[in-house]
Structure 1
Amino acid sequence: MEPSTSRFSEPAHDTVETDVLIVGGGMTGAGIMRDLALRGIHSTLIDRRDLCAGASGGNHGLLHSGARYVSNDRESAVQCRRENVLLRRLARRCIEPTGGLFVAIDGDDPDFAAAFPQWCSVAGIACELVTPDEARRLEPHLSERIIAAYRVDDATVDPFRLALQHVAHAGSLTGSSYRPHSDLIAFDHDNDQLTSAICRDSRTGALLRIRARQFVNAGGAWAGRIAQLAGCPDVHLRYSKGTLLISHDRLTNHVVNRLRPPADGDILVPGGTVSVLGTTSLRIDDPDLAVPTVAEVDRNIAEGAMMLPVLATTRYLRAFSRVRPLLPAGDDGDDRHAVRGFALYDHQGDGLTNFCTITGGKLTTFRLMAQQAADLVAARLGNTTSGRTDTTPLPEDDSCRWTEPGAAPRYWHLAGNRDDMVLCECEMVPQSAIDEIVRCAPGAEEEMTLEAIALRSRAGKGPCQGSFCGIRIASYLYDRGHYRDRTGLQHMRDFFNERFKGMRTVIRGPQAAQMELAEALHCGVLGLDALDDEDDRDPLTQRLETGATDD
């Protein structure tokens, strides 16, 4: 590669140094950070938004047994089986061992159902035949039309807590750091190496130069764009958009899978007090344009209701879409038939010796992906320490505990502090949780957004979807001095806008009434819809900006 520097000429405000810069705050990026730290290597992890902002945080939360892939992707099935066993042992507080059911209903291909146990056996996956009556005893909402059922070792995982604990552990081991809101805009080159990355703070516009010895691209669906910034055009991905729904209630105790080739609405995953239904698959050209549609929501519900009729009448809180980064296959067919493997690019063929890309895969295989990337990086640094993520339990960190469903009311009750006001009544999140998150959670900042706080807690996850607690938490942060001016109202508006993105396709029945109330509060009372109009500011904004207080 020709000696060069980035064409970005605007000077960076500050410069920091690290051994390894990891771009992408999904589970793979967080996993690489911890893997390197266990080898004594310091790293800096950046993301243009926040942890698990892409596919890592936008999925069912399913820790695959591997059974879903036995019919068409045996390698991924075996990888999932092995990683499932490891994560259950090493990250227990992030995993709920729900078990799973695969059920076929009248009209499904009987040959597929009959071949399923043999496919599982070849992949080494435990599979137990149960009668339809036994399946309905385990899950009463199952259809009366079931003709076959099998139990497997599926589980559920909290990706947010998992990522937070990985980042916290890396920080405690080597002082490695995480920087959210850091948008990578350029690299500096020197012959066959990258020397630094230029990042822009997406909130303030401030520039930062990060110098590193090794650079890792763990950008998920955006990995191709990141590689191109480094001058590497060889990372090609397919973008498969999946749309999922979150129900008001937990409808099953097991993960329930349709026993057929993968299709829309064929998995229901319990998670805490809710369930997640999905997913569709649609090829798109731009991963930034993944939004749910009413047609996709209706399709998921109609298909899901065939195996669980209750899904036709249940209340849904929100829908969301994320993008699966798929490795290109030899044909241009249905993305559901694409393998779910991953690829590690060392980019030496592009003339770089200190840049690599890890992409593809899925949440269940993140640890394996991180290990392979960390092996390459460590070898390039001359570090001969073997990876230990397959034997070292993930330690707990109090600042990461607030994402666990039911944890907040339990901790609040045990503390017995009557002055610890509950700010989110749906999920019983007290002000002490907000204090701890703002003070020391991974990615904590001087002025955390409401969205960042919600990612690190259960705030905004209940039936009102933050309509009330968003106001209460923002008010509390003003009282505590974390918010001091107009930006606090902007954080509130942005939080409600993000909530609305997921609610607008499920505004029906009780959720429609909820939205009417939210609009009255946010627009009629607070005037957040007019917040950008500088010449017609609402009285509350004017008082905050002038520092006026009541006598």
Structure 2
Amino acid sequence: MIDKTIKEEYDVIIVGGGITGAGTARDCARRGMKVLLVEKNDFTNGATGRNHGLLHSGARYAVTDQESAQECIKENMTLRRVARHCVEETDGLFITLPEDSLDYQKTFVEACTKAGIRADIISPEEARRIEPAVNPSLIGAVRVPDASIDPFRLTTANIIDAKRHGAEVRTYVEVVGFIIENGVMKGVKLRDNRTGEQSEAHSRLVINAAGIWGQPVAQMAGVKINMFPAKGTLLIFGHRVNHMVINRCRKPANGDILVPDDAVCVIGTTSTRVPFDQIDDMRATPDEVELMIREGMNLAPSLATTRIIRAYAGVRPLVASDDDPSGRSISRGIVLLDHEKRDGLKGFATITGGKMMTYRLMAEKAADLACQKLGIDKKCDTAVVPLPGSEETDGEIKAEMRDDIYSDLVASTSRIAEIGRHGTFTKEIPHDTIEDRALVCECEEVSAGEVKFAVDKLHVHNLINLRRRTRIGMGTCQAELCACRASCVLCQVGNNKPEKELADLASFMQERWKGMQPVAWGDTLKENQLTLKIYQELCGLNA
């Protein structure tokens, strides 16, 4: 039963709130389209929030896929300009170990040069000097323009800009059907996953940007897409071992990328086909954890004695050609499907495949198709216009806020951390009172003022939303103390009932445990036992 119909008609409805959907909403809105984006959970709930945060130079693909390598280096340079508050310019090393062949290094450098990627051969001694954590037994090294990027900040910035240009964004709203009349898609049937309310929304075009969930979305419209879910498992270590991205200089394989990520580092990843019935509950297995540890030690031996705080897994949307139902010709490239031409269904398109870091190019291609379908003549500007938060450099922001930063030395480090997370938005984060400056999360230096800002500006309804916008609970203690504090602040500023916040807190801690359970030994197990004591026996959760 439909409770209500959204009366306004949109030019474009976008399904999916990952980085591709957010980028497509931004691009379409900036070109003057009336946009509605719907996401059945929270932003970055899928593959966007479950990767290692690597801003590829394209070097990893240079030998095997020149087109992808060229796309990557172009987008790498673009995102350094337009998303600077999401990017840390670390540079990267591709190392050759004694069991590897230096012949591959030569082939690798030639392929990088052909793709337009800087690839400088350096001596093992120089590699050890610039990255002390690297395996000292390396026999070769190549320096490339890799970097790290925060997918949560990147997605949020795209959503903010889309909204600034008139887009409507609705989270926890799921597409449960389509409105199709005489071979033309007229709109979507929606369900609010928090209230159960059902509704309809109409549009001239629907763009399916739901990642691996794009296949079941398309099936509801009677369209088949040959997608194959590929699981990737990663480990987070308790502190930042390396300062540069470290890659293995060989054909891409499991566990051959170590990425510095804020105060921690991430090793990944695997690539295993999984059935569709598992994509909503990905878990790292003991064998995958063991593999990641073993391969990680080959990159940086100190990982052998570094505490692992979390294991997690995501699902990549790999797409096979229409004439290949077995999936033998899997593509990792960008796939844009015009379902009018392909399937005879007017008003429906799918954008999928690709990589997180080529999201902007994917969005541009989807928005170009939308302009073509809707008769709009406006060029893409997302490669030149900075995202919200990236209008100024860190140095410029710090200079502007110098008095604010250094007036309170205790709070100055959290203010600097806020600049790193939010860029120019830091000026809007409350900081005047001692209550605003109080730390909610010591590991990530998140203040109460930042929590208030997130609730007010960044679509925060619960603790998981807050974690994705501010990094609360993502540090070494994995929410041991900060979750309870954050819950109290959410209760105050979000006008939520205490009973609701207690249930949310219990759910959040269970989510934290899911990632700790595969690595629950040694110090990680001890930490979890302390957390259990605090929340079950002191706070009374699940008592």
**TM-score, normalization: structure 2?**
0.89
Q: Tell me the distance in 1 between the aligned counterparts of 2:58 and 2:416.
A: 26
Q: Tell me the distance in 2 between the aligned counterparts of 1:14 and 1:434.
A: 34
Q: Tell me the distance in 2 between the aligned counterparts of 1:376 and 1:161.
A: 27
**Is 1:406 equivalent to 2:417 in the alignment?**
yes
1:242·1:281 contact (CA, 8 Å) conserved in 2?
yes
Q: Which residue of 1 aligns with 2:309?
A: 317
Q: Which residue of 2 aligns with 1:183?
A: 174
The 5 Å alignment of 1:70-469 reads 70-173=62-165, 175-233=166-224, 235-286=225-276, 287-328=279-320, 338-348=330-340, 349-396=342-389, 406-407=417-418, 415=431, 417-420=433-436, 421-441=438-458, 443-444=459-460, 448-469=461-482
Q: CA deviation at 1:14?
A: 4.9
1:403·1:455 contact (CA, 8 Å) conserved in 2?
no
Residue 280 of structure 2 aligns to a residue whose secondary structure is helix
Residue 356 of structure 1 aligns to a residue whose secondary structure is strand
The 5 Å alignment of 1:18-37 reads 18-37=10-29
Q: Taking structure 1 as reference, are residues 83 and 462 closer, same or farther at Cα in structure 2, changes over 3 Å only?
A: same
Q: Tell me the distance in 2 between the aligned counterparts of 1:229 and 1:367.
A: 27
Residue 260 of structure 2 aligns to a residue whose secondary structure is strand
2:81·2:386 contact (CA, 8 Å) conserved in 1?
yes
Residue 502 of structure 2 aligns to a residue whose secondary structure is helix
Q: Taking structure 1 as reference, are residues 455 and 16 closer, same or farther at Cα in structure 2, changes over 3 Å only?
A: farther
1:47·1:180 contact (CA, 8 Å) conserved in 2?
yes
**Structure 1, residues 106-136: CA drift from partner, whole Å, max 9, x if none?**
1113321231111111212110000011101
Q: Tell me the distance in 2 between the aligned counterparts of 1:403 and 1:317.
A: 23
Residue 529 of structure 1 aligns to a residue whose secondary structure is coil
Of 505, 513, 520, the match for 1:507 = 520
1:241·1:284 contact (CA, 8 Å) conserved in 2?
yes
Q: Which residue of 1 aligns with 2:410?
A: none
Q: Tell me the distance in 2 between the aligned counterparts of 1:69 and 1:113.
A: 13
Q: Tell me the distance in 1 between the aligned counterparts of 2:160 and 2:305.
A: 41
Q: Tell me the distance in 1 between the aligned counterparts of 2:375 and 2:414.
A: 38
2:414·2:446 contact (CA, 8 Å) conserved in 1?
no
One-letter amino acid of the structure 1 residue matched with residue 538 of structure 2: V
2:351·2:362 contact (CA, 8 Å) conserved in 1?
yes
Q: Which residue of 1 aligns with 2:401?
A: none
Q: CA deviation at 1:196?
A: 2.1
Q: CA deviation at 1:338?
A: 4.9
Q: Which residue of 2 aligns with 1:522?
A: 535
Q: Taking structure 1 as reference, are residues 408 and 522 closer, same or farther at Cα in structure 2, changes over 3 Å only?
A: farther
Residue 196 of structure 1 aligns to a residue whose secondary structure is strand
Q: Tell me the distance in 1 between the aligned counterparts of 2:192 and 2:155.
A: 21
2:451·2:489 contact (CA, 8 Å) conserved in 1?
no
Q: Tell me the distance in 1 between the aligned counterparts of 2:430 and 2:94.
A: 39
Residue 434 of structure 2 aligns to a residue whose secondary structure is coil
Residue 406 of structure 1 aligns to a residue whose secondary structure is helix
Could you list the runs of 5+ residues in structure 1 that have no partner in the other structure? 1-9, 531-551
2:430·2:449 contact (CA, 8 Å) conserved in 1?
no
- Percent identity between matched residues is 40
1:405·1:458 contact (CA, 8 Å) conserved in 2?
no
One-letter amino acid of the structure 1 residue matched with residue 273 of structure 2: R
Q: Taking structure 1 as reference, are residues 15 and 404 closer, same or farther at Cα in structure 2, changes over 3 Å only?
A: farther
Q: Tell me the distance in 1 between the aligned counterparts of 2:383 and 2:219.
A: 32
1:76·1:339 contact (CA, 8 Å) conserved in 2?
no
**Structure 1, residues 275-334: CA drift from partner, whole Å, max 9, x if none?**
111111111012224211121111101011012111111111111100111122688999
One-letter amino acid of the structure 2 residue matched with residue 406 of structure 1: A
Q: CA deviation at 1:206?
A: 1.8
Q: CA deviation at 1:485?
A: 4.7
Residue 101 of structure 1 aligns to a residue whose secondary structure is strand
Q: CA deviation at 1:246?
A: 1.0
**Structure 1, residues 365-393: CA drift from partner, whole Å, max 9, x if none?**
11111111101111111111111112222
1:160·1:403 contact (CA, 8 Å) conserved in 2?
no
Q: Tell me the distance in 1 between the aligned counterparts of 2:41 and 2:376.
A: 31
One-letter amino acid of the structure 1 residue matched with residue 252 of structure 2: P
List 4+ stretches of structure 1 deviating above 6 A.
329-335, 401-405, 408-414
Moved more, 189-198 or 481-490: 481-490
Residue 435 of structure 2 aligns to a residue whose secondary structure is coil
Q: Tell me the distance in 2 between the aligned counterparts of 1:102 and 1:405.
A: 31
Q: Tell me the distance in 2 between the aligned counterparts of 1:137 and 1:475.
A: 46
Residue 186 of structure 2 aligns to a residue whose secondary structure is strand
Residue 288 of structure 1 aligns to a residue whose secondary structure is coil
1:146·1:307 contact (CA, 8 Å) conserved in 2?
no
Q: Tell me the distance in 2 between the aligned counterparts of 1:405 and 1:366.
A: 28
RMSD: 2.5
Residue 48 of structure 2 aligns to a residue whose secondary structure is coil
**Structure 1, residues 127-151: CA drift from partner, whole Å, max 9, x if none?**
0000011101111111122011000
Q: Tell me the distance in 1 between the aligned counterparts of 2:498 and 2:274.
A: 40
Q: Which residue of 1 aligns with 2:403?
A: none
